[in-house]
Amino acid sequence: MVVFPSMVNGLGPCKGGVIYWPAQSPGFGVAVTNVFSLQHPGAVDHGLERNPGMPYSPECFDRLRINRSAVERRAATLPARRSVKKDFQAAWLLKAITCIDLTTLAGDDTPGKVRRLCQKALHPVRRELLEGLGVAELGLTTGAVCVYHNLVPIAVDELEGTDLPVAAVSTGFPAGQTPMHLKLEEIRESVKAGAREIDIVISRAKVLTGDWRGLFDEMKAYREACGEAHVKAILATHELATLSNVAKASWVCMQAGADFIKTSTGKEPVNATLPVSLVMVRAIRDYHRLTGYKVGYKPAGGISKAKDALAYLSLMKEELGRDWLEPNLFRFGASSLLGDIERQLEHHLTGRYSVAWRHPVG
């Protein structure tokens, strides 16, 4: 019988991989950390309380400089040395399913397609596979269903009577090049339609021009417009030019009250990667150390294979700990990942790989 392990053998504290260049203390020539949270005692942990944000504090991030080569070396070790097999692998793949935001964001989305996607989210793995794994009674579902704003009512209607939340992309997704008042109204309308999670896109121009205060004010306005709905801040990391910008944008969004920070829209040439993810989760770790509040993480775009999901779960376990292996703090933004996971689970039971069309997503 396969069960969800609380941890995987061999996963422990991270080792190696210095991420931040040290800054020189003026007049002394002594290297000191430029990670603001490490200069202060750890805050009291607030458990799963929602991140309320904090006052705009550029001193938390303005000295951050990311050592790209160290990041890439550290990230490259994850797939190579964090390998799980057999029942452990099956258990971790089942865990990955619970953290998927099952997504359709295409021009040909229809009400029928969204309804099928919702049913797949409620029943992500075929019944006979769950019975074979001994987990048929767990009530396994994905973490959420993510759609465009105009299809939120369809998804809400299809999921009525369940606890599965609907997430809506908003604020002029994917480019974010619409007037601010329209962005805020789009958020309010999605929440009014029943969306419980809002995936917003930040203005990349504010990052590229160093307008950190402007980005903070923008993100804070998005958070207020969301009300009780949780807000995920999409950084579109490929368009931010440097890993230092990624780290700083992560800090600003968390200070402004983001519940999650998210890598990508899925529409960029390069979306989620392990090096970018490492930078962002280190920012989450430092923010938690400083404030005591836990912020979620969502890699999105380009994660289509089960082995990729395992690498990201290992990253979260090593860098942030067991709490970040639950859907309230970790999500995959994916459309085809679920099909490959189901295929791997069938192989685990039968020893044979099935063709992809046996595992449709929606």
Could you list the active site residues? 199, 262, 298
Task: Give the span between the Cα atoms of 171 and 240, in whole angstroms.
Answer: 18
What is the DSSP code (8-state) at residue 242?
S
Two structure tokens written together for 208? 């590229």
The 230-234 sheet, strands edge to edge: 296-298, 260-262, 230-234, 197-201, 166-169, 144-147, 100-103, 332-334
352's CB contacts (< 8 A; 6+ apart) are 346
17's CB contacts (< 8 A; 6+ apart) are 70, 71, 73, 74, 77, 278
Task: Give the span between the Cα atoms of 115 and 145, in whole angstroms.
Answer: 10
Please report where in the chains the tokens 């290297």 appear, as a residue. 31
Question: Which phi and psi angles does 166 have, rounded to 5°?
Answer: -105, 130
Q: For residue 269, count other CB atoms closer than 10 A to its CB.
A: 7
